C-alpha cells in the first residue's frame, strides 16, 4: 500500500510554518490588503527567524526556495549552501509543505518573506556549487516576463553581451514578484539571439548593479502585500561569473537547464493555491455549520443539503490537487524527472484554487462578498496562482507534449 503519512521531520517543519501563518500572517492579512505597496514590517521578524534557522542548518519555514536536484549519488554529501537552499533529502517536499502552510495564512505575505524569493529556486536548480556558496543567503526575485510576451518563455528579447569581465544586460522585465524589495534579481536574457532559445541564460543581478532600475509598481487584483515591479536594464553591468550554470550555448540541449527552474517552482505555486484553498474550505465549513448545514461523509452527497454536497465536491477536488503536488515534490527529492508531474500539479491546483475560493464566496452569500471575512480576499489572491509560473493553458500544453511524446515544434 502507498503510505501517505508525512515523515515526522516534515510535520514538525510544517507545524512551525502554520504557527507563523496563524500568529503573524493572519492578524495583519487585511491590513496589507488595504495598504498596497506598504512594506510589511512584521516580516522583519520572519527574516530574522529564517536567518537563524538557516545558520543552524534547519530547513527554512517559508518554503519559497525549493530544493536542488543533486547529481551526486545517494548518500553523497552536498555543499553547505545546497543544504541551506533545500537539499535532496526531503528539501522539495519540505518547501512545498511550508509554502502551503504559510499561504494558508496569507499568500501575498508569503511571497514577501525576505531572502526567500522565487529567484532562489532558480539558483537552487541550475547554479554551480561555487555560485551556491556565493548566493546562498541572497533574496532573489525572478524576472522572465517582458512587455512583448508572457507565457512563451522562449521569446525573451532581453540581451546579455560579454564585455571583458562583465556581462552587459539590456531589456525590460514586467510583473516581477518582489522586484523592488529583493536584494538580487535572476534575469532571463539571450546571449545570442541568432541561436534561438538555446542561448537563453539566467543571470544574477544585484539590486545595486549600475543600469538596473524600478520603472513602476503594479496595482493588482490580489496578493497586494507582495510588490510586483517593472524593471529596466540599461547597459546594466554584472560580473562575468554571475551567469547561472554554464555560459556555453548548447543548441542540442536547448534551454532545458534554465527551464528546470519551473520543475522546482511549479509544485510550490501549486502548494500556494492548495494553502489558500484549504483556508477557504475551513472558513466555508464554519459558516455552513453555523447556518445549520450538516456535512456528512456517511450519507451520499445527493441526499444532503445542496451546499453540503457542493462542499464535498470542492473538498475532493482539493484533495486531488494536494496529492498531485506531493507526488511532484517527492519525485524531485528522489531525483526523478518531474516536468510532467510539476505541470499537472500546477494546472490542477491553479484551477482548484479559483474554483474553491469563488464558490466559497458564493455559498457564503453576502457574508462571503463582504470584508467581514477573508473569503473575498482569498478569491482575489487565488487568481494569480493559476497564471504565474505558466498559465493553465500552458500547463495543459506541456502535459499533452509529455504524454504524447511530442516536441514543442510538433505540438504548439
Four-residue CA torsion sign, 254, 259, 260, 263: negative
Q: If you count DSSP H runs as helices and E runs as strands, how many of each does the chain have, helices first?
A: 13, 7
Residue position matching grid coordinates 516580516: 43
Task: Give the end-to-end CA distance of the chain in Å, rounded to a whole number.
Answer: 39
In Å, what is the CA distance from 388 to each residue of 83, 266, 293? 27, 9, 36
Which class for 298: exposed (0-12), middle (13-18), buried (19 or more C-beta within 10 A)?
exposed
Active site residue 389: yes
Please, are residues 119 and 60 in contact by the beta-carbon 8 Å criterion? Answer: no
| CA gap 338, 324 in Å, rounded | 11
In Å, what is the CA distance from 179 to each residue of 76, 185, 318, 345? 36, 7, 31, 26
Phi, psi torsion values for 107, nearest 5 degrees: -70, -30
Catalytic-labelled residue, pool 83, 310, 315, 389: 389
Phi, psi torsion values for 376, nearest 5 degrees: -65, -35
- State the catalytic residues: 389
Amino acid at each position: 500500500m502507498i503510505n501517505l503519512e508525512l515523515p515526522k521531520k516534515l510535520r514538525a517543519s510544517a507545524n512551525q510554518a502554520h504557527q507563523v501563518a496563524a500568529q503573524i500572517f493572519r492578524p495583519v492579512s487585511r491590513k496589507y490588503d488595504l495598504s498596497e505597496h506598504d512594506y510589511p514590517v512584521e516580516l522583519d521578524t520572519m527574516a530574522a527567524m529564517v536567518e537563524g534557522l538557516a545558520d543552524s542548518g534547519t530547513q527554512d519555514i517559508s518554503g519559497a526556495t525549493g530544493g536542488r536536484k543533486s547529481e551526486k549519488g545517494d548518500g553523497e554529501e552536498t555543499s553547505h549552501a545546497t543544504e541551506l537552499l533545500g537539499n535532496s533529502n526531503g528539501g522539495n517536499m519540505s518547501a512545498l509543505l511550508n509554502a502551503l502552510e504559510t499561504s494558508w495564512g496569507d499568500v501575498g505575505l508569503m511571497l514577501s518573506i525576505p531572502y526567500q524569493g522565487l529567484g532562489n529556486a532558480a539558483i537552487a536548480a541550475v547554479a554551480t556549487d561555487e555560485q551556491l556558496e556565493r548566493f546562498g543567503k541572497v533574496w532573489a526575485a525572478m524576472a522572465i516576463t517582458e512587455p512583448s510576451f508572457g507565457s512563451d518563455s522562449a521569446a525573451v528579447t532581453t540581451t546579455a553581451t560579454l564585455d571583458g569581465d562583465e556581462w552587459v544586460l539590456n531589456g525590460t522585465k514586467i510583473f516581477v514578484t518582489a522586484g523592488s524589495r529583493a536584494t538580487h534579481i535572476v534575469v532571463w536574457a539571450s546571449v545570442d539571439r541568432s541561436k534561438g532559445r538555446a542561448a537563453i541564460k539566467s543571470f544574477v543581478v544585484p539590486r545595486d548593479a549600475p543600469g538596473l532600475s524600478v520603472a513602476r509598481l503594479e496595482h493588482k487584483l490580489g496578493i497586494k502585500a507582495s510588490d510586483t515591479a517593472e524593471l529596466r536594464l540599461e547597459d546594466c553591468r554584472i560580473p562575468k561569473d554571475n551567469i547561472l550554470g554554464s555560459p556555453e550555448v548548447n543548441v542540442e540541449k536547448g534551454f532545458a537547464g534554465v527551464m528546470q527552474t519551473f520543475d522546482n517552482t511549479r509544485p510550490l505555486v501549486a502548494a500556494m493555491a492548495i494553502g489558500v484553498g484549504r483556508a477557504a474550505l475551513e472558513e466555508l465549513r464554519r459558516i455552513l455549520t453555523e447556518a445549520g448545514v450538516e456535512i456528512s461523509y456517511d450519507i451520499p452527497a445527493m441526499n444532503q443539503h445542496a451546499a453540503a454536497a457542493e462542499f464535498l465536491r470542492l473538498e475532493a477536488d482539493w484533495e486531488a490537487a494536494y496529492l498531485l503536488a506531493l507526488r511532484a515534490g517527492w519525485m524531485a527529492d528522489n531525483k526523478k524527472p518531474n516536468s510532467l508531474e510539476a505541470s499537472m500539479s500546477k494546472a490542477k491546483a491553479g484551477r482548484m484554487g479559483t474554483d474553491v475560493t469563488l464558490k466559497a464566496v458564493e455559498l457564503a452569500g453576502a457574508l462571503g462578498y463582504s470584508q467581514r471575512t477573508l473569503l473575498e480576499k482569498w478569491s482575489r489572491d487565488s487568481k494569480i496562482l493559476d497564471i504565474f509560473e505558466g498559465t493553465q493553458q500552458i500547463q495543459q500544453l506541456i502535459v499533452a507534449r509529455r504524454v504524447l511524446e511530442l516536441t514543442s515544434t510538433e505540438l504548439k
